[in-house]
Structures are given as structure tokens and as C-alpha cells.
Amino acid sequence: MSKVGSLAISALRAGYRSGGLNPVEVVEAVYERIAAHADDAVWIHLVPREEAVARARALSDPNLPLYGIPFAVKDNIDAAGIPTTAACPAFAYTPGRNAETVERLLAAGAILIGKTNLDQFATGLVGVRSPYGVPRNAIHPDYVPGGSSSGSAVAVAAGLVSFSLGTDTAGSGRVPAAFNNIVGLKPTRGYFSTRGVVPACRTLDCVSVFALTCDDAGAVGAILTGFDAEDAFSRREASPVAMAIESAKGFRFGVPDRASLEFFGDTETPALFEQAVRDLKELGGTEVSIDFTPLRETAALLYQGPWVAERMAALKPFMAEHAADMHPVTRAIVEGANRFSATDAFEATYRLAELRRQVEPMWVGVDVVLLPTAGTCFTLAQLAAEPVARNTDLGYYTNFLNLLDMCATAVPSGFCTNGVPFGVTLAAPAGRDGFVLGIAGRLHRIRPVPMGATGIPVPVSRAVDGEVAVAVVGAHLRGLPLNRELLEGGAVFLRQCRTAPIYKFYELPGAVPRKPGLIRQTEGGTAIEVEVWRMPAAQFGAFVARIPAPLGIGTLVLETGESVKGFLAEPAACEGARDISEFGGWRQYLAGGSK
């Protein structure tokens, strides 16, 4: 059996550093997983196994930032020597040069596994418009995988690669992330080069990143961000620093006025969105209601206005001879460009400028906007019944971002009772990518949800440079007497979770204020509820110095298998003390068992 577990970048890096893994083993495991997954529709072209293994064996510098990390690329992005089809066989060509994004990843030590399926010519949010088949939704096969970057999202969610590249013009890097329970990073337009990408709408196109965590997405984003003089739409100010994850303690987040929220008849996703609102408040955010009207009107411009003519501009020579070779829905959408004139294009441009001006004041009152990534996820049968209408519904919260020059990160945010995932998107003005990633990452970690379909929980303990993750079990919990010590030390709440089931829990006799003691067992034990906080390393020493005996800070093992700093008690102090392990946590004991 393979010893390769999680393909999260952080997990592979740890395995490489310890010597427990090497890139050849990882690549071999990846191809075994692809075979076991048995869904050829995920891929349009797989790199031959022996070539990928040879690439892994040839890597010689373990200090490369993406050393030995396997990835996939949406098949509208060029990889030298591999056909680019854009999911249309008649369009296929074999590039002699990598897209700039692929070149950067390979130079960083990443290993290309293959090219993934997509909605033809990146036109759609559903993931089913391809002659190469429909990739199975990694969570629930009866539902659409989301598009256009369907194969890229499924490959990450199914644990077949560590990350993948997609594209995002209207939501194609976010909707598939939501439907497959992973992270989707849509950068500031122009931060990632689009040279070597088959255009959809050149003025709006972005290369996007699918990953298992926000930390991983940010790590890849830092490699991809940079000015490309050969790309006419590249931004000169693009710098890897823009992807540096920020840790915001207090922030204002905008939420669409409730009358504007649309969930398309879904009875469960409204409650999941409200839970995300509460979670952001738990993380220190302040909710601000925003007028969604100008955002919704902007979204309508993308497909109901002349921007669809950009798709015709990209495909006109091909369509002149091969229109019959296109997917019928894709062809109908692109041919819709014929109803627009140059006058229409200018009038729409003027209207967009007006809408941008209407949106500007919103950013005075909020730092980031919280949106459902999609109001609901449709079944394959629902989509087949109304393919264009359902696709339009999926763009309700996505189509306006690039038109309004916003960056965004989509993260998982719970599940419906039938197991279908729900996701939310955090968005901000151009250039705030690291800020958005930071808040999105905290929101993703607040609950112990699995990464994609892997069954492996999202890591909770990863702290940015200069910070320490610390678990508290008693009087330092939120709302209890000593929580102020954490807040005074600049700590930020991360998540409520549990320890591994290897501890005993006692009430310490005579403690003021009342406190529990946690003791690790050599055999047996119970899982105990804890809160994990992130504290500046500069304040951590002073915090520890204030802890009185018999308590101290040691290393706790969480239910995820991670280790963090946390409160432990001296065993002697618990001799004769009341064993409260059965309550599973200090709050539960105070509520139901304390006398």
C-alpha cells in the first residue's frame, strides 16, 4: 500500500523534509489513484507515467518552492508538446512553448500530470459541454461538476493532484470549487499571465488556481504572480507579495441585502450561507448590508451584453470553417454575438463605467464582500431540462467580478443533508488578494470539514510566520474569565475542534477562576473539545509566563493528527480530582455537570 496520504502541498513538503517521501513515490501514487478513480472524463491528455516519473527523478533541488508537487492544467492552457484542444478536437494544435503560468510552475519544481476537461472553449459554468465526456462531481455523481474548469476541480477534489490551473472569466474558477468542496483562487485580473491561454474574453480572462487549502492556493499564486511583457493584459504592479496571506483581526464584510439573495428554490443553502455569516462574525468580522443591485446589473452585462462578442473575436476564424464541429450550446452562445453592433459595445462600456462608479462607495464601508459562490447546485437531470437557464443561475454571484476588477477566493462552507457541498466567495478590490486569502483561509478552517472528497480534514494549526497556534481548553475559551488574556496578546480565533482521544480531563480543585486540567494518557483516553487560536510569537512568551502551576503549555495532538501548543496539567495536581472526561469539554461540564 502506498505511504502517500494527503496531496496537500503542506503535507508533501513535510514528507519531503522528513525524508519519509520522495517525488518518485508521489508520482507513482498519483497514477495509481487516477487508475483507481476510473473517470477518464476528468482528463483530455495524461502525461505518460514514465515521463512524469522521469521528471520526478530528475528533480535535484529540494529547496524549489514546488519541489515534487503534482499538478494538472485545464486544456485551454498550453503545455509544450501536448495538444491543446479547448475541448474541441477540430480546434486542436500542439504548442511548442509552455504558457507562462505552466513555465513558472515547472521552474518551481512542480510535476505536470495532465491536461483536464472543460466546458468547450471555457464557455459555461456547468462542466458538461464537452465531447470528451462529463467529469463526475467528486462529492455526488448525480450533480453537475461545475464549469468551465470541471476536470481541474475534480482532479484536486478527488486527491489525484495537489493543485490545478483553471481559468475564470465569469466564475469558472469558483463554481467548480464550490461544487467539489475545494478552494478556488481567482486573482486580480492581470496578475497571472494569460499568454498561452486560449482566449474566452481577453479583456476579462484570468488563470485560476484550485487547491485543497487557501495556504496551498496562496503558495501557488505567489509563483504565478508577476508581470509578463509578452502579455498585453499583464499588470506591471503584479508581484508575488500580493499573494502573501494577511492575518486580519478586525474587518468589515459586506453581505447582499437579504431581498437580493437568490437560492433558486434550494431550501437548505440559505441556512448554510447564514452560518457562514455567523462564522465570519466569530472570526472578528462586522457584518454590513450592501446594495446588490449594481453588482447584479453588472453581472447581466456579461452574457446579455456585447461582451459575448469577445468570444466571437477569439473564435471567428475557426468558426468560419468548423462551426459544425462545436458543441451546440457553445456554438449558440458564441453566435449570439452577431446580434450586437459596435454601437452596442460602446453603450455597454459606458453603462459599465456608470456601474463601477456606483460600486466604488461600497468599498468605503466594507473591506471584503461575502457571497454564496452559487445559490444551489443542480443535478445533471435539472441541467439537461433547461441547460441555458440553469447555467445563467450559476452566474448570479460570479459574473460581475472581473468586469468590476475584483479579486476573490471561493471556499467550502458546509454540506446539504444529501451530501452536496455549499461554498462561499470572499471578494475585494483588485490588489487585495492576500487579504482575501487570509480571511478565506480562516473561514475554511473554522470547522473540521474534509478537503475535497479525500476525507482528510482541513489542517487547523498552520500559522503564518511570526505566529504560534495554541489550543485552550478551559477558562481561556471565548466568553470565559481568562479569554481576555488571549485578546490582549493579539490572538485570533481559528477553530473549535477536539483533541485526539488520548486525554483525561479533570476539574482542578480550588482553582480561581475555575479551571480544568488535561492529562495525556499512555493508553485509552477521551477526545476533549478545544479552541485553537493564533497568537503573535512576540506575545506568546509573555502569555506562557502568566500561566500558574500546575498548568503549563505542552504539545497537544488534535483529532486531525496535527500537533499544536496547548494547556496541559501536572498529573499530581489531578490526584483525587473529579474526572470530567465524560462531558467532552469544559463548556459542557459547566452547563450540565458542574455542581
Q: What is the C-alpha to C-alpha distance for residues 249 and 259, in angstroms, rounded to an integer? A: 29
Q: What is the C-alpha to C-alpha distance for residues 14 and 425, in angstroms, rounded to an integer? A: 29
Name residue 495's beta-bridge partners: 532
Q: What is the C-alpha to C-alpha distance for residues 530 and 461, in angstroms, rounded to an integer? A: 12
Q: What is the C-alpha to C-alpha distance for residues 403 and 170, in angstroms, rounded to an integer? A: 9
DSSP H/E element including 184:
strand 183-186
| Residues 6+ positions from 413 with CB-CB distance below 8 Å | 272, 273, 275, 276, 279, 422, 423, 424, 443
Q: Which three cell numbers stand for residue 154?
A: 475534480
Q: What is the C-alpha to C-alpha distance for residues 451 and 406, in angstroms, rounded to an integer? A: 26
Name residue 355's beta-bridge partners: none
Q: What is the C-alpha to C-alpha distance for residues 173 and 186, in angstroms, rounded to an integer? A: 6
Pairing of strands 70-74, 368-372: unpaired
Q: Which three cell numbers stand for residue 587?
A: 463548556
Q: Is the dihedral of CA 258, 261, 262, 266 positive or negative?
A: negative
Residue where the block lists cell 464541429:
325
DSSP H/E element including 488:
helix 483-488
Q: What is the C-alpha to C-alpha distance for residues 459 and 472, in angstroms, rounded to an integer? A: 17
Q: What is the C-alpha to C-alpha distance for residues 429 and 188, in angstroms, rounded to an integer? A: 8
Q: Which three cell numbers stand for residue 69?
A: 508537487
Q: What is the C-alpha to C-alpha distance for residues 471 and 479, in angstroms, rounded to an integer? A: 15
DSSP, res 93? B
Name residue 207's beta-bridge partners: 167
- The catalytic residue positions are 74, 148, 172
SS (H, E, C) 258-286: HHHCCCCCCCCHHHHHHHHHHHHHHCCEE
How far are the Cα atoms of 7, 26, 106 from residue 29, in angstroms, in the given order?
Answer: 10, 5, 20
Each residue of 495-504: b (16+ CB within 10 Å) or e?
Answer: bbbbbbebbb
Q: What is the C-alpha to C-alpha distance for residues 276 and 282, in angstroms, rounded to an integer? A: 10
Q: Give the CA angle between residues 200, 202, 205 to the nearest 5°.
A: 70
Pairing of strands 467-472, 492-498: unpaired
CA-based end-to-end distance of the chain: 51
CA dihedral 400, 365, 429, 271 (to 10 degrees): -50
